[in-house]
Amino acid sequence: MMRHKVASLQQHRNALYLSIFGIYLASVTLQTTTFNDMIPHRVGVLVELATLAALLGLVVCLDALTLTQIIGEVSLLVLVTVVTLTSGAHYLMPTVMLVIGARHVSFRQIIQVYLGVVGTILLVALVAAEAGLIKNITFTTADGLRQSFGVVYTTDFAAHIFYLCAAYLYLLARRFRPVALLPVIIGLGIIYQFTKTMTDVIALVALVGVYLLYIYRRQLRWLRPMLRYSFLMLPIASGAIIGLSNVFNYQDRLLVMLNNALSTRLALGNNALLAYGVKLFGQAPIPINGWGGDRADSFTNGVGTATYFFIDSSFLNMLISYGLLLTLVLIIGITWFLYQRTRQHDYLLPVIFAAIAISSMFDQHFLEVTYNVFILMLFADLPNYRTAVGPEFERPVVIQRGASY
């Protein structure tokens, strides 16, 4: 009887978490669309405060934590609070509370809520933008016409597509069929044709590549070491973009070529490092001038006078804006978590995170749950299975242990 009551309480606790997550996710996703013009700013603030209060109450009242877990979670909250007060990045608090609150919640259900909420909002925004009900921000570049389809920036629309595809492929891994790649290919075509966001094209191609390597690992024996060491991609990618930005100079022809290929991201990162440096707990909000969104026409028509400055890389932005300590905690902590997954022979999350790491080298959305829902994996209840990668090919690909997803 007692066991039944505990299971029932946990079920209600998880349902409450998913409801809180869905409401917050809807709020922050709407803010990435031009529906945002119709919604008062205070509504988003109230949803954020209510989310924090609800998650804090859920964790304090319903979670039975060990002393070690309490010390760890309180330490993380203190660090994030200090960084939030220093940098003004208020979204960090609900993000870390969503991570902590996801304890024992099915990660598959989290992904399903994410796909349902974000996918629906983006589809409605696209239809509304095409119907003229909201803004469909477009501007012309040397590559052609770029459209945002109801999202505030073309790059943000492309990032949404990338992360939706990652979530979709994660859910399909157990029963994958080649035809399931069709929506991803369509998404890739939309990004390439209508947003001209080549970094997201590269990231999505990388996602499909590593995912297929995971699916066909038996046939591609010589590539299996890439699966085993995929957990290292996060420190490799972050170290590469930070290191290249740090050493960039216009006298090095190779670096200049790479900088041009990356839309001057290395030069902008180098300017940011020189101008603001790296602090332990981050620093006051850094002024940026982006030329996308509503401001695109004025700048592309030569009317604007501000100098373009934007830190696109998530890793550089974390290091400069949120400080060295939080950046190290995140990179080392997530890498250790992914390493533990590989030790349990679960390579699906590490390979998907490898593509996310590549995307985050050039994209600023790594810590935003409306894009990267995979950061909630850290405390969530993950699928209880193992993936055979060794030479024992007479065994099934997936070895089920206990309850399924």
pLDDT > 70 fraction of the chain, expressed in percent and rounded = 87
Which distant-in-sequence residues (6+ apart) come within 8 Å of 179 by Cβ?
A: none
What dihedral angle (degrees, nearest 10) is formed by the CA atoms of 77, 78, 83, 84? 60
Helices (H) and strands (E) in the chain, counts: 16, 4
DSSP 191: I
* 3-state SS, residue 311: coil
pLDDT in tens, 7-37: 666 778 999 999 999 999 999 999 999 999 8
Largest CA distance in the chain: 74
Q: In angstroms, rounded to a whole number, what is the distance separating the alpha carbons of residues 393 and 322?
A: 46
Question: What pLDDT does 5 receive?
Answer: 58
Identify residue 234 by its one-letter amino acid code: L
Residue 337 pLDDT > 90: yes
* Residue 316 parent element (H or E): helix 314-317
CA distance 370 to 379: 18
Q: Which residues contact 63 (CB under 8 A, 6 or more apart)?
A: 13, 103
Residue 310 has pLDDT above 80, yes or no: no
Q: Which residues contact 271 (CB under 8 A, 6 or more apart)?
A: 309
What pLDDT does residue 3 have?
59
**Cα-atom radius of gyration of the chain, to the nearest Å?**
21
pLDDT digits (tens, 9 = 90+) for 237-291: 999 999 999 999 999 999 999 998 887 889 989 999 998 999 999 998 887 765 4
- Length of the chain (residues): 405
- The type of residue at 134 is I
Render pLDDT for 170-218 as a digit per residue (tens, 0 to 9): 998 877 888 989 999 999 999 999 988 888 899 999 999 999 988 888 7
Q: pTM of whole model > 0.85?
A: yes
Res. 299 pLDDT band, cuts 50 70 90: very low
DSSP state of 384: -
Under 8 Å between Cβ of 264 and 302: no
> Is the CB of residue 255 less than 8 Å from the CB of residue 276?
no
Give the pLDDT confidence of 73-131 residue by residue, as tens digits: 999 999 999 999 999 999 999 999 999 999 989 999 999 999 999 999 999 999 999 99
Report yes or no: 98 and 376 within 8 Å, Cβ to Cβ.
yes
Look up residue 281 and give its amino acid.
F
In degrees to the nearest 10, what's the CA dihedral of 89, 91, 92, 97?
A: 160
